[in-house]
Structure formats: structure tokens, C-alpha cells
Amino acid sequence: MPADPLHRAGTAQRSTTSQPPSGSGASAIEVRRSARRRRTVSAYREGDRTVVLIPARMSEAEEQRWVNVMLDKLAAQESKRALGDAELAERARRLSDQYFDGRARPASVRWVTNQNTRWGSCTPSEGSIRLSHRLQGMPEYVVDYVLVHELAHLLVPGHGPRFWELLEAYPRTERARGYLEGVVAAERLPHVPGARGESPAG
């Protein structure tokens, strides 16, 4: 994402740099607070770091929440090129090897456009896994979570304790579920237009 053209050196009141969550795609995160920025948050890559621009009035808790939101948005934008079915199947194979010792072996893995109320589905008797096209462009760890979820169903069809025990092997389960819950919640809210690369901050 290109740098915010409205941001100029000297406008930030405070800047902090920290290590990002695992897999965020950058080696460091720099948060720049600006008195001029009132209600929007934006982020962009700058070399090997991610710069997040926020209003100066934000609390530490709000800052952390928006850093996570913007990291997810950047990751989604950077993975817009959708995986093809063959790549999706290979990804499922790698995830099965990593988390289930290769025991979950789907016969087919593909994108479908007729699943608007479910992120993924699985038919264990056929060994088929289908992912909603709505996942295309979302962060990789979210797509991986849905794949792992459906792979687990090849081993345990229902949602009993054994199923959730299997799913715990994937370390980003809670974060991915939170992301998807946020998408569902956002779809129920009226759209608030903003500048490109910016999100309204309350």
C-alpha cells in the first residue's frame, strides 16, 4: 500500500515501534499518533516495517485493536491474487501434514460460489472440501483456518470434543474465528465510506 500522501514528517505527536504478531509479514510495526488525524486509521508498508497512523487521542487498548485490524487489512490486500483449486489442494495437503500427520487426505479441494452462509463445507464420505469464494483475498491464516477446520472433519465428522481437540493444533484458531466474526458483524452495519487505505476509527 502506498504511503499516505497527507502524512508529513513532524505531524505525529508520538511514534512507537514494536514487534508484530507472528506471520504479519513485517519485521516491525511503527505506530504514529497525529493530532491532525481525527477519526481515521491508515497503514502502509515502509521497507521492512509496517507504519500505522492513528489519532493522537486513542487509548493504548484502541491502538492495539486498530493495529491488529490494519495488519489484517494489509495482509488481505497483499494476497488478493486468489489461489486456484490446484494451489488450494496443495495448501490443504501441507496443512494436513503439518497439523494432522498427513492423516486427512481430501479427494478434492475447490472454491465454490454458492456458499454465502458458510465459509467452508466438507463431505467426508466423498473426501471433498469446498471453500466459499468470499474467503478469497482474506489473510492467509484465515483461509488456512477454514481449510484446517474442514480437514479435521475428514477425521471427525461432527463438532464433538474430539473435533475441537484436533482443531486446537492450529495456533491461530481464535484469531481467525475473531476475524470471521468481525466480517459477519461488519456486513450487518451500514457502510461508512472513507479514503482509500483508511478505516473510520469510531
Q: Where are the domains of the chain?
A: 28-80, 84-188
The answer, yes or no, to whether residue 106 has pLDDT greater than 60, is yes
pLDDT score at 190: 63
pLDDT band at 5 (very low <50, low <70, confident <90, very high): very low
Model pLDDT, residue 79: 60
Mean pLDDT of the chain: 79
Task: For 120-159, write each residue's pLDDT tens digit.
Answer: 999 999 999 999 988 987 888 899 999 999 999 999 988 8
**Whether the Cβ atoms of residue 59 and residue 79 lie closer than 8 Å to each other:** no
User: Residue 169's pLDDT is what?
Assistant: 93
CA distances from 169 to 44, 88, 108 (A): 32, 20, 23
How many other C-beta atoms are found inside a 10 Å radius of the C-beta of residue 139? 25
**Phi, psi angles (nearest 5°) of residue 34:** -130, 130
Question: For the whole prediction, is pTM greater than 0.85?
Answer: no
Indicate the length of the chain as a whole number. 202
CATH class of domain segment(s) 84-188: alpha beta
pLDDT tens digit sequence for 10-65: 334 455 545 444 444 445 889 999 888 878 898 887 766 888 999 988 999 999 99
